[in-house]
Amino acid sequence: MRPLALSRRLALAGGIALALGLASAAQAADLRVGFMPGPYRDAFTKGIEPQLAKLGYTVKYVEFSQGVQPNDAVERGQIDANIFQHTLYLNATNQQQNFDLVPIVHVPTPPMGLYSQRHKSLASVPDGATVTLPADPVNAARALNILAAIGWVQLKTGVNPLSVSERDIASNPKRLKLVPLDAAQAPRSLADADLAAVQGNFAVASGLELTEALKLEDMTLPYVNVVAVKRGNENAKFAKDIVAAYQSAEFQRVFLANPVWAGYRLPDYFSK
């Protein structure tokens, strides 16, 4: 009896050790995800990470301050994925920097808007007003499209969104003074300019409310942000798990229940 009892105890101990070992191995699955300032990390933390944790992932967050840095980090394998950009910007940096990154899923995205500390409405903005807008061509195109939508500028036909600039303005009847600057600096420019075209992530990060914008862009799908990975990883397990988490009913419930995310452009997979 005693040898049998000892054998059972050893078997039990071995089973426990195996279970602990498997749990430890699952917990050792680190996932490195890069972000720029803005709402995407918060949404990931609240709605995505809990789902990934159940699958054994440990998420490591990496913060960047300049737009090309998160893509460079994915390209070099320093992080597994990033969440901060739309596909037009991704395609532009792939082309300019010789990167090879691909989008795997769209994410809820706050639209770009025109903000002002000096004026309470578009009607009160005088002719000759100073407007700051992103310096990079892709997001400059978004700002110019907002200005075109309210009739303040007219763009030439057939403008390429990857290379648009002030040279593509056919007319400027309001005589706006357009000042390009780094997109991250747009919220600070509100102290000196009449208006600033602020990307949604930088607006949220700086404490601006989407409802404060004098005009929000009519955001189309190419400008809805994505999760990006290095080509070849789009079918990796971690990538598929991220996609499944974003497209889950659980993430939609978490996102839609938080009033701070009201006004976002939702991906097409969200239930209508």
* CATH number, domain containing residue 210: 3.40.190.10
Digit-coded pLDDT (tens) for 113-127: 999 999 999 999 999
Same domain, 184 and 63: no
CB–CB of 46/258 below 8 Å? yes
Distance between CA atoms of 258 and 110, rounded to whole angstroms?
14
Assess if residue 38 is contained within a domain: yes
Assess if residue 195 is contained within a domain: yes
Same domain, 203 and 247: no
Same domain, 103 and 233: yes
For the chain, what is the mean pLDDT? 89
Same domain, 102 and 69: yes
Q: Is the pLDDT of residue 244 over 50?
A: yes
Which of 218, 234, 250 lies at the terminal end of a domain, its last residue? 218
What confidence category does residue 160 fall into, taking pLDDT thresholds of 50, 70 and 90?
confident
Same domain, 203 and 234: no
Same domain, 98 and 164: no
Same domain, 79 and 166: no
CA neighbor of 72 nearest in space, from 37, 32, 31, 34 = 34
Same domain, 102 and 227: yes
Same domain, 103 and 231: yes
Other beta carbons less than 10 A from residue 44's beta carbon? 23
Same domain, 160 and 191: yes
CA neighbor of 178 nearest in space, from 191, 164, 163, 194 = 194
Same domain, 121 and 171: yes
Percent of the chain scored above 70 by pLDDT?
A: 88
What is the mean predicted confidence (pLDDT) over 64-77? 94
For the chain, where are the alpha helices, taking DSSP H only? 2-27, 40-43, 49-54, 68-75, 87-97, 137-149, 200-205, 237-246, 249-256
The three-state secondary structure class of 239 is helix
Lowest mean pLDDT among 137-141, 228-232, 242-246: 137-141
Same domain, 100 and 230: yes
Assess if residue 19 is contained within a domain: no
Assess if residue 4 is contained within a domain: no
The domain containing residue 244 runs over which residues?
25-109+222-261
What is the mean predicted confidence (pLDDT) over 228-252? 98
Pairwise pLDDT comparison (10 vs 253), residue with the higher score: 253
Classify the phi-psi angles of 35: left when phi > 0, otherwise alpha if psi is within -120 to 50, otherwise beta.
Answer: beta
Distance between CA atoms of 193 and 263, rounded to whole angstroms?
25
The domain total for the chain is: 2
Assess if residue 3 is contained within a domain: no
pLDDT of residue 162: 61
Assess if residue 270 is contained within a domain: no
Assess if residue 266 is contained within a domain: no
Outline where DSSP puts E strands in 172-266.
177-181, 195-198, 215-216, 225-230
Q: Is the pLDDT of residue 10 over 60?
A: no
Distance between CA atoms of 7 and 141, rounded to whole angstroms?
73
Distance between CA atoms of 57 and 21, rounded to whole angstroms?
15
* Torsion angle (degrees, nearest 10) of CA 168, 172, 178, 184: -70
Assess if residue 75 is contained within a domain: yes
